Chain A
Amino acid sequence: MKHLPKHLRPRWRYVAVGIETWPDAEVTRRSFQRRLWFAAQNLLGDPGSADADLTVLSVSFADGVGEALVRVRREHLEDARAAIACVHRISRQPVRVTVRGVSGTVRACEEKYLGRRTEVTDTSVVFENADRRAAARGALLDLRTDGSYTGATRYDIE
């Protein structure tokens, strides 16, 4: 179909979303999009969800941390922010999502808010008098404890 004249095209905002979860979890564009639609539908209802038109454009994710680029209609940015905040689980794993920033173009959004990565290393630490495997990111540690994880920092093991 012929595309719309410029003044009739929707105005978009591009939202940079940081994603954090446990080291063994997996987040893909498809799974994030699915949970985001569910979250929006549950919080805003079908009409609100359709208005916000939340679309996940890209996800980059590895070792429990990642980021995503989400497109929303400009007029519904705050609704979108609320829906994004309600995503608490992806593929049965708890996730933390946080809005890093909002831009008017994909390029500005990528340049300003995306593309940061800190190295994740596998290490062994002593926590509460027991040896634990841990995924370390800077000062942050995700400790493997009996089938689940505990969030800690370097401060807890010194």
Chain B
Amino acid sequence: MYETVHATPDGQSTVSRFAATAAAQGFDGVVVRNHQDARTEFDAAAIRDAFGIDVVRGVEIRTDDRSRASGYLGSFRSEYEVVMVRGGSRAINRFAVESDAVDVLADPMREDGDVNHVLARAAREHGVRLEFNLAPVLRATGGRRVRALQGLRKLRELVEQYEPPYVVSGDPRSHLALRAPRELVAVGEAVGFTEEQIRTGLTEWRRLAERNRERLSDEFIAPGVERGRYEEER
């Protein structure tokens, strides 16, 4: 199971601190999801060796403008292992679920964002994962949390009906906000998810990272088509 994290300068802890803490809590990997204007440089292989946990290079595109989002998408797709678009408005949600190049539509119910049956179907068709963001359940109170829970419930009902792929995250900005998989499961169950849904969502990050690594590798040409041993130069 993987967790997604905002490392410095987007968050308050470095990638290695997240890795150290997540490893101690029983995660198999972390996906770095820094905002495009607060990206971070790190040596994923060295951190992997030091703490025994996979580190995935990801980026989260945050903008309300479709054409800018499209520009970022073009430049980040070949550079990052996981490319996410943060939802939060109808226009950007729609753009994300209809783009094959987007891996994850992050927090689609945030602020003015909404998902309906049309977007849920589009997400399935284009293989865009919808994110269940547990951050407000873990760290907000009162009205903000109630609205977030309403959003999660609506999203869950759509996911159960139309079966688009989905991911789950606790979305921490500091290692102090990390919660273990088992605790996320307990929190998920307390707000209406099943244990299986939370575990599937946390594991989906790994499948996503593995698929994209394969696609980014030099041997990859198209799904099912790879450069084999007969293609070597003589």
Measured CB to CB, the residues of A under 8 A from B are 20-22, 42-44, 78-79, 81-86, 88, 94-96, 98-99, 139-141, 148-153, 155-156
Partner of A149, one of B12, B145, B187: B12
In this assembly, does B184 line the interface, its C-beta being within 8 Å of a C-beta of chain A?
Answer: yes
Partner of B180, one of A79, A83, A99, A152: A99
Cβ contacts B144-181/A at 8 Å (1 or 0 each): 01000000000000000000000000000011111110
Partner of B138, one of A79, A85, A98, A148: A85
Check B25 against A153 for contact (C-beta < 8 Å).
Answer: no
Would you give the shortest CB distance from A52 to chain B, in whole angstroms? 11
| Of B15-23, B101-109, B120-128, the one touching chain A | B15-23
Q: Which residue of B lies closest to A128 (CB)?
A: B8
**How far is it, in angstroms, between the C-alpha of A148 and the C-alpha of B12 when the chains are bound?**
9
Partner of B183, one of A82, A140, A149: A82
Check B175 against A151 for contact (C-beta < 8 Å).
Answer: yes
Check A82 against B187 for contact (C-beta < 8 Å).
Answer: yes
Partner of B16, one of A22, A81, A96, A153: A153
Total A-B pairs, Cβ < 8 A: 91
Check B46 against A155 for contact (C-beta < 8 Å).
Answer: yes
Check A79 against B190 for contact (C-beta < 8 Å).
Answer: yes
Check B14 against A153 for contact (C-beta < 8 Å).
Answer: yes
Check B14 against A152 for contact (C-beta < 8 Å).
Answer: yes
Check A152 against B190 for contact (C-beta < 8 Å).
Answer: no
Check A98 against B25 for contact (C-beta < 8 Å).
Answer: yes
The B contact surface, by secondary structure, is helix
In this assembly, does B189 line the interface, its C-beta being within 8 Å of a C-beta of chain A?
Answer: yes
**How far is it, in angstroms, between the C-alpha of A118 and the C-alpha of B216 when the chains are bound?**
42
Instruction: Enumerate chain A residues within 8 angstroms of B137, measured Cβ to Cβ.
Output: 86
**How far is it, in angstroms, between the C-alpha of A20 and the C-alpha of B177 when the chains are bound?**
10
Instruction: Enumerate chain B residues within 8 angstroms of A85, measured Cβ to Cβ.
Output: 138, 179-180, 183-184, 186-187
Check B177 against A94 for contact (C-beta < 8 Å).
Answer: yes
Instruction: Enumerate chain B residues within 8 angstroms of A148, measured Cβ to Cβ.
Output: 12
In this assembly, does B47 line the interface, its C-beta being within 8 Å of a C-beta of chain A?
Answer: yes
Would you give the shortest CB distance from B17 to chain A, in whole angstroms? 4
In this assembly, does B13 line the interface, its C-beta being within 8 Å of a C-beta of chain A?
Answer: yes
Most chain B CB atoms below 10 A, which of A86, A88, A151: A151
Instruction: Enumerate chain A residues within 8 angstroms of B47, measured Cβ to Cβ.
Output: 155
**How far is it, in angstroms, between the C-alpha of A155 and the C-alpha of B51 when the chains are bound?**
10
B11-66 residues at the A interface, CB under 8 angstroms: 12-14, 16-18, 20-21, 25, 46-47, 50
Instruction: Enumerate chain A residues within 8 angstroms of B141, measured Cβ to Cβ.
Output: 42
Check B12 against A44 for contact (C-beta < 8 Å).
Answer: no
Check A81 against B20 for contact (C-beta < 8 Å).
Answer: no
Check A150 against B183 for contact (C-beta < 8 Å).
Answer: no
Check B189 against A78 for contact (C-beta < 8 Å).
Answer: yes
Contacts A42-B141, A42-B145, A98-B25; is A151 near B186 (CB within 8 Å)?
Answer: no
**How far is it, in angstroms, between the C-alpha of A83 and the C-alpha of B184 when the chains are bound?**
11
**How far is it, in angstroms, between the C-alpha of A78 and the C-alpha of B141 when the chains are bound?**
20
**How far is it, in angstroms, between the C-alpha of A121 and the C-alpha of B164 when the chains are bound?**
49
Instruction: Enumerate chain B residues within 8 angstroms of A94, measured Cβ to Cβ.
Output: 174, 176-177
Check B177 against A78 for contact (C-beta < 8 Å).
Answer: no
Contacts A85-B138, A88-B138, A152-B17; is A96 near B187 (CB within 8 Å)?
Answer: no
Check A151 against B14 for contact (C-beta < 8 Å).
Answer: yes
Instruction: Enumerate chain A residues within 8 angstroms of B178, measured Cβ to Cβ.
Output: 96
Query: Would you list 27 pairs from A and B whose C-beta atoms are within 8 A, ordered by A residue?
Result: A43-B190, A43-B191, A78-B189, A79-B186, A82-B183, A82-B186, A82-B190, A85-B187, A86-B137, A86-B138, A88-B138, A88-B176, A94-B176, A95-B176, A96-B178, A98-B25, A99-B183, A139-B20, A140-B17, A140-B20, A151-B21, A152-B14, A153-B17, A153-B20, A155-B16, A156-B16, A156-B17
